[in-house]
Amino acid sequence: MKHKAWAAAVLTALCACGGMSAEFVHTGKKSAPLDVIYVTHSARHGETPDEGTGELAESLVFALAKRGFKAASFNDRGERAEGYRHHAVLSVFQNLPEDILGRRGSLTVHVRIIDARSGETVSMIRMQCDGCALRDGGSTMRVAERLAAGIDEASRK
């Protein structure tokens, strides 16, 4: 991955589910304005995304639309990725609690914004949330809002 321009800003906020932190890394020049985005997922060995990833993608589309972006996701029936200049690739890693002590799980989300034509990474967002789980709708929406804020920030650079 080639990085010509590099700037990073780390933002931290607390949410009701625990601690949430996000790192927004702007990696290079955009060939087109970052305003039309197709949200997809990182497919590993042909796997299909779980329900939580699908809900996060839909929440992210909604949060981006509230900020004035034209966005769609892999869950939208009939919507094709070819019509979008940039793709937001979601990679979701959940650590669900499996003990009876009620410990909270954690969630890590990586979003790579890539230029659809060149395939180069334009921006990267890494987010960690302690106590968040995608099965909780409130957590999903808060995570999506945070990610949308990062994408909005990247669009202004």
- CATH 1.10.10 correct for 12-156: no
Interval 18-44: pLDDT, tens: 567 777 676 666 667 777 888 887 766
Interval 96-105: pLDDT, tens: 666 555 556 7
pTM across the whole model: 0.75
Collapsing DSSP to helix, strand or coil, 95 comes out as strand
Domain positions in the chain: 12-156
